[in-house]
Amino acid sequence: MREIELLAPAGDLEKLKIAFEYGADAVYIGGEIFGMRSAAKNFTKENMIEGVNFAHEKGKKVFVTCNIIPRSEDLQVLKDYLLELEEIGVDAVIVSDPGVFKIVRETIPNMEIHISTQASTTNYVAAKFWYNKGAQRIVTARELSFEETKEIREHIPEDMDIEAFVHGAMCMSYSGKCTISNYTTGRDANKGSCAQSCRWKYTLMEENKGEYTPVVEDIDPEFFFNTKDLCMIKYIPQIFESGITSLKIEGRMKTAYYVATTVRAYRMAIDEYYKDPENWKFNPIWLEELKKGSHRDYSTGFFLNRPDENSNNYESASYIRNYDFIGLVKGYEEETGLYIVEQRNKMYVGDKIEVIGPFKDTMFTTIEEMYDEEGSPIESAPHARQIVKMKVGIKLEKNYILRKPTEKARIL
């Protein structure tokens, strides 16, 4: 059986480390230029060096996005940037533009190149074209079904990887080539500054002799372009059978908690498949875990069939948030027997909480005692990233995550 790579997003250094701790095989990150998520914190050179070293010590990989659609002026600094990436030791660069591809091949010829989903690779002839030019991997267009992906796999060289998005936000435009953001806000979506204008509320009107009437009257509010999130955790066998070799999670703008919960769930599903492929069964707990992170309603995108009216959420563009990420375990204090926790949302003594950790089942406990950094007892931790010490009834490890239901979820 071909090993499948679990590829996670990392918007900053903390998320990179969390992704690897929770089971990712590789991460994709952006530098300070040439990435499609300019609003993410992204990586300075120093951060990138630390992240790559951390990954390689664990036998993991780091890929860097260079997948904007550039103008000629953007190319002036590209060569120096590529040489910097080679010096740092990144494992691959992700590109979509043929000009950028050519410059990468000429400047750092030994660098592995992945063809971004922005290149809209939808057939095996295009895939073989990129392979013959020197690409090692294609990130297929998100508009492909399992059957179409399998056809590509059957016609390309065995040593060419197929990477595909299996989880996260979906773009309403073909392979992310969108101009709505440019038109509505002046922010170039194809240079990483998408304002997500597609998720705004619109009213579709028809004009007839100066009179305007709504085209759709039974949808209010009218979020015409608001796609549901992609979630393929129920379909691990079909992913393997289609020939996909890297499962990609969307979300470089998302939180460390999102990265941890999503990677953890897919890691469990994939590992269960490795144990006994023929008898693999979907475990509803995996989906429940995904739903405890910030998400929209889920769909299967294009994998099973063409999207229909059930693939969009016409009522709201808001995320569903039923759980708060309240703390990240940073260490343990031997002399007091207390855990050191960095606060991420307000928490109180007496809170009934859930704890997740890498390769561990979800644990349930209560915050029994809490102290500030000086050791004085406190009843709550209200300050952002406040360092507290606490006593709970179970054993914790560094990078375990504490969460609790939101007030809304508790009321429901």
* Per-residue pLDDT tens over the stretch 326-338: 999 999 999 999 9
H helix or E strand, kind and range, residue 107: helix 98-107
- Give the C-alpha separation, 364 to 43, whole Å: 35
Domain final position from 182, 207, 226: 226
Nearest to 262 by CA among 290, 230, 294: 290
Assess whether 32 and 110 both reside in one domain.
yes
**Phi then psi dihedrals of residue 407, to 5 deg:** -55, -40
pLDDT at 176 over 70: no
Nearest to 195 by CA among 206, 208, 182, 205: 182
pLDDT at 38 over 70: no
Name residues whose C-beta falls within 8 Å of residue 61's C-beta, 6 or more positions apart in sequence: 25, 26, 27, 55, 91, 92
The strand pair at 363-371 and 352-356 is best described as antiparallel
Count other C-beta atoms under 10 Å from residue 158's C-beta. Answer: 7
In this structure, is residue 238 part of a structural domain? yes
In this structure, is residue 203 part of a structural domain? yes
Assess whether 269 and 368 both reside in one domain.
no
Assess whether 334 and 401 both reside in one domain.
yes
* pLDDT value at residue 191: 63
Q: Pick the range with the lowest mean pLDDT from 74-88, 211-225, 266-280.
A: 211-225
Check residues 310 and 358 and name the one with the higher pLDDT: 358
- Give the C-alpha separation, 167 to 26, whole Å: 15
- Give the C-alpha separation, 42 to 30, whole Å: 5
The amino acid occupying position 296 is R
**Stretch 228-232: mean pLDDT, rounded?**
94
What mean pLDDT, rounded, does the chain reach? 90
Assess whether 234 and 222 both reside in one domain.
no
pLDDT at 46 over 50: yes
Assess whether 275 and 401 both reside in one domain.
no
SS3 94: strand
Q: Pick the range with the lowest mean pLDDT from 214-218, 241-245, 390-394.
A: 214-218
- Give the C-alpha separation, 65 to 304, whole Å: 28
The amino acid occupying position 71 is R
CATH number at residue 347: 2.40.30.10
Domain final position from 246, 277, 308: 308
Assess whether 231 and 291 both reside in one domain.
yes
* pLDDT value at residue 409: 58
Assess whether 218 and 238 both reside in one domain.
no
Q: Which two tokens stand for residue 117?
A: 């989903």
In the chain, the number of structural domains is 3
* pLDDT value at residue 343: 98
Assess whether 19 and 128 both reside in one domain.
yes
In this structure, is residue 179 part of a structural domain? no
- What does the radius of gyration of the chain's CA atoms come to, in whole angstroms? 23
In this structure, is residue 201 part of a structural domain? yes
Count other C-beta atoms under 10 Å from residue 357's C-beta. Answer: 20
* pLDDT value at residue 192: 63
* pLDDT value at residue 218: 61
pTM above 0.85, yes or no: yes
Across 334-382, the runs of DSSP E, i.e. the strands, are 338-343, 347-348, 352-356, 363-371, 380-381
pLDDT at 36 over 60: no
Q: Are 113 and 136 in contact (CB under 8 A)?
A: yes
In this structure, is residue 282 part of a structural domain? yes
Confidence of residue 412 (pLDDT cuts 50, 70, 90): very low
Q: Which two tokens stand for residue 296?
A: 């929209």
Assess whether 388 and 240 both reside in one domain.
no
227: which DSSP letter? B
Parent domain of 344: 323-411
Assess whether 142 and 242 both reside in one domain.
yes
The amino acid occupying position 232 is M
pLDDT at 190 over 70: no
- Give the C-alpha separation, 48 to 85, whole Å: 9
Assess whether 64 and 99 both reside in one domain.
yes
CATH number at residue 285: 3.20.20.70
**Phi then psi dihedrals of residue 81, to 5 deg:** -65, -45
Check residues 2 and 87 and name the one with the higher pLDDT: 87
- Give the C-alpha separation, 397 to 331, whole Å: 7
Assess whether 205 and 333 both reside in one domain.
no
In this structure, is residue 315 part of a structural domain? no
Name residues whose C-beta falls within 8 Å of residue 142's C-beta, 6 or more positions apart in sequence: 117, 164, 165, 170, 171, 175, 176, 230, 301, 302
Q: Are 61 and 55 in contact (CB under 8 A)?
A: yes
**Stretch 182-200: mean pLDDT, rounded?**
72
Is residue 221 reached through a cis peptide bond, with omega within 30 degrees of 0 on the bond before it? yes
**Phi then psi dihedrals of residue 5, to 5 deg:** -90, 135
Separation of CA 285 from chain center: 20
Q: Is 293 exposed, middle or buried (0-12, 13-18, 19+ CB in 10 A)?
A: buried
In this structure, is residue 313 part of a structural domain? no
**Stretch 252-273: mean pLDDT, rounded?**
96
293: which DSSP letter? S
- Give the C-alpha separation, 23 to 335, whole Å: 31
In this structure, is residue 74 part of a structural domain? yes
Confidence of residue 74 (pLDDT cuts 50, 70, 90): confident
